[in-house]
Every structure is written in C-alpha cells, then in structure tokens.
Amino acid sequence: METLTALLLIAIISYVSNRITPVLVRLPIGAQHVLFTGTEYLFLGLLLGPYLIGFLSKEVLDQLRPFVSLALGWIGLLYGLQFNWRDIRTFPLIYMPIAFLQALITMGIVFIVFYPVLGYLLGGNRLLYPLLIALSASASLTSPSAIAVLHRRVEIKERDLVTLVRYISGIDSLIGITIFGLTFAIFHITYGYNQGLLPLEWFLLTIGLSLFLAMIFNLCLLLPLTSNEFLAVTTGMVVFSSGVASFLYLSPLFVSMVMGLIIANTSSKREILYENLVRGERPFYIIFVIIVGGLWTVEPLWGGIGALIYTLARVAGKYLGGIYATAIFKPPFPIPRDLGLALLSQGGVAIAIAASLQQTYQTTLTPTVMTIILTGVIINEFLGPRYLMKVLSK
C-alpha cells in the first residue's frame, strides 16, 4: 500500500509537470534548458527519499527498482530508434568519426584522471573497472536538448556548424552506451544460476539476446494493431526486454538500444513506434528521475570534490576532443577551435548510466561515483547553454 501511494504521488507530480511544459518556453534559455532536462527532479527525489523526508523509504525504493529497469529499457529503445541509416547518410559521412573520436578522447581523459585514485581505494577489486567506465562513459555523452532550445530562441547564422553540433549531440552517446553496456558482459556479476560463462560468452549472449528480442518485436509489429494494441505491445516488449536483461545482470539500456537500432532499420513502423515512445517520454522520464533521486545516497565531501574534478576533466576532454577530431577529419567549412565546449550538456542518458551502475554494481565507492556523475550532470547542465551560445555566436 505504501509503495502504491508513493507511485501515485510521483505519477501526479509527473502529470502536473508535463502539463506545465508549454510554460517553460517563456523562461530564459539557461533556466529553460535545465528544466527541460529534468535534473531538478533529482532534488525532488532526494527530498522525498529516506535521508530527508522519508516518504520514499528504503523499502519502497527497493520495490520500485523494477521500474528503474523498465525506464532504462524505455530510454535505450527510444535512443536506438533514432539510428535509421537512411537518415544518418543524409549527413556528410565525415561527421560520424568526428563525433565518435571526440567522445573516445573524453572517455580516455576521464578514465586516466580517476584511475589512480579509484585504483588505490579498490586495489585489485575487479569492480574498479565498471566504476571507471561509468564515469568515463557518462562524461562522453552529449545531450541534444541545449541546441534544440537554443535553436528555437536564437537566430544562428552558421548553419553548417549548427548541423554538426546537432549531429554530434545526437549520435555520440552511442559510444558511451555501447562501452558501458558491454562492461556488464566483461565484468559480469555472477550468481549461482549463471556461473561458468566467460566474458566473451556473456558478450555473445548480450548481442544474441538483443537480436532475438528485435526479431520478436518486429514480428509483433507485423500484426494489424489498433493504436491501443500498438502501445500495449510496445510497453510489453520494453517490460520483457528490460526484465530479461536485468534477470541476467546485463544492461537493459544497451540491450534495448540495440533492439531499437535494429528495428529502426528493418521495420516499416519505426516512425509510429518512435512517436508512441516520445508521447510518453517526459512523464515517464520524470518518474524515473524522481526515483533515481530517492535512490541517490549523497556523498557530499568526496562526491563533491570528485564532481569538480570530473567536470574539469570532461571539459578538457570535450575541448581537446573537438580540436583533434576536427583536425584529423576536416569538415568542409571553418570550425572554431573551441567546438568541444559546445558539447558540455549531458542530459538524461548520463543519469541512466548512473542509475544502471547503482542497480548492478554495489561497492563501497558506488554511492560516491553516483554522486560524482549526478552532480557533474547538474553542473554541466548550467555550463552547457552558456558555452554553446559562445561557440555558435562567433
């Protein structure tokens, strides 16, 4: 009963917040961007959580964990559906290596910065690497929300540059989600029923599961469905794929992303599916972020210091990544040297990675790493629009 009451309250908050979304377009760009990304709901979840008001008690949050897995699957599927090759190839092919290289450089810098400290604290613990990869992968991500908000409010002359920034922010998360998702196979959490498989076998199982789920989903989409039936099938497949991935201690985010990517390139109903998911995205996402906020065990001292280091390392990675990526793969138009500073906004996928880490890899440092990522996301959401405007206004 307590869990149902908590979920009902969160759903009401989500509904009301979604209804006032049109009002947000009247706010200043910086505030509008922060509110559109939903990071304020982290604080609301933290306030309602067990360490403050206590409405979302530990027992309630434990019962809501399956919803977190469901939300990770929803986010992954929605993201994967964007990768339709017919749409991607309308852009210059050179944009893709630029996006991927700057993401890899950012990952590398953050990994190198945090490796000595976490390596010293965890010693030879094999779970050191999932923590490091979560920090690195989340740092590599770029949210497209900042450029979307800015594009609606400000007239920008450099259309080619805007297109490149939008392309990078839409596609570079593929690297972070993939590397973090495969971490679940390489550093798999092993319990009785699934002992004995090697990392390569878990990797093949992850890919095979994604392909199998995509095939089942595609077969379902071939049926003559009404709009309500279509929504029910979609929800059922997200629940099923997320549940199976979580049961096997694999990444629901990655498995569903691969499933979505396959459907995006094989199903004629890709656009209808995408529209259905987008329609429920914001209220669903708000509920997810509130629950993540409740699950967040804040480590104010070391988490705060780590978040500042994380932000500086991420800024350095994006800046250097932009320089080297565009130097190696030269676009056919002038590129500002500080292009990478236009890619500071992180958004919801970084929160999803933090939640996924907290769901699966429980160590003494997991709360600290989660604090670093979530605090870093909040800082970067404030920095992102400001530097994006600076870069695009040159």
Q: How far apart are CA 334 and CA 265, in angstroms?
A: 33
Phi and psi of 269, rounded to 5°? -100, 20
Which comes out higher in pLDDT, residue 115 or 51? Answer: 115
Q: Residue 155: is its pLDDT beyond 70? A: no
Residue 371 has what pLDDT? 94
> Domain residues of the chain, as ranges?
37-392
Residue 326 has what pLDDT? 93
| Chain segment 161-220, per-residue pLDDT in tens | 888 998 998 888 899 999 999 999 888 876 544 556 788 889 999 999 999 999 999 998
Question: pLDDT above 90 covers what percent of the chain?
Answer: 38
Residue 27 has what pLDDT? 47
| Chain segment 240-278, per-residue pLDDT in tens | 999 999 988 999 999 999 999 999 999 888 888 888 888
Q: What is the mean pLDDT of residues 19-24?
A: 51
Q: Residue 23: is its pLDDT beyond 50? A: no
Which comes out higher in pLDDT, residue 89 or 153? Answer: 89
Residue 25 has what pLDDT? 47
**Confidence tier at 87 by pLDDT (50, 70, 90):** confident
Question: pLDDT above 70 covers what percent of the chain?
Answer: 86
- Cite the beta strand spans of the chain per DSSP E: none
Per-residue tokens: 115: 């490796």
Residue 36 has what pLDDT? 52
Q: How far apart are CA 276 and CA 231, in angstroms?
A: 7
| Chain segment 344-392, per-residue pLDDT in tens | 988 889 999 999 999 888 888 899 999 999 999 999 888 888 888 888 7
Q: Residue 135: is its pLDDT beyond 90? A: yes
Q: How far apart are CA 308 and CA 302, in angstroms?
A: 10
Per-residue tokens: 25: 């377009």
Q: What is the mean pLDDT of residues 49-57?
A: 80
pTM: 0.90
Architecture of the domain spanning 37-392? Up-down Bundle (1.20)
Residue 294 has what pLDDT? 87
How many C-beta atoms surround the C-beta of residue 215 within 10 A? 14
Look at the alpha carbons of 23, 27, 29, 35 in this order and tell me if their dihedral is positive or negative: negative
Q: Residue 284: is its pLDDT beyond 90? A: no
Residue 44 has what pLDDT? 84
Determine contact, residues 340/318, Cβ cutoff 8 Å: yes
Q: How far apart are CA 181 and CA 175, in angstroms?
A: 10
Per-residue tokens: 101: 């290289």
Q: How far is CA 296 from CA 184, 344, 352, 370, 375, in A?
A: 21, 23, 12, 7, 11
Q: How far is CA 213 from CA 103, 205, 216, 309, in A?
A: 28, 12, 5, 40
How many C-beta atoms surround the C-beta of residue 51 within 10 A? 13
Q: How far apart are CA 163 and CA 125, in angstroms?
A: 43
Q: Residue 22: is its pLDDT beyond 80? A: no
The least confident of 11-15, 23-27, 98-102, 354-358 is 23-27
Q: How far apart are CA 370 and CA 354, in angstroms?
A: 6
Residue 80 has what pLDDT? 92
Q: Residue 18: is its pLDDT beyond 70? A: no
Residue 17 has what pLDDT? 61
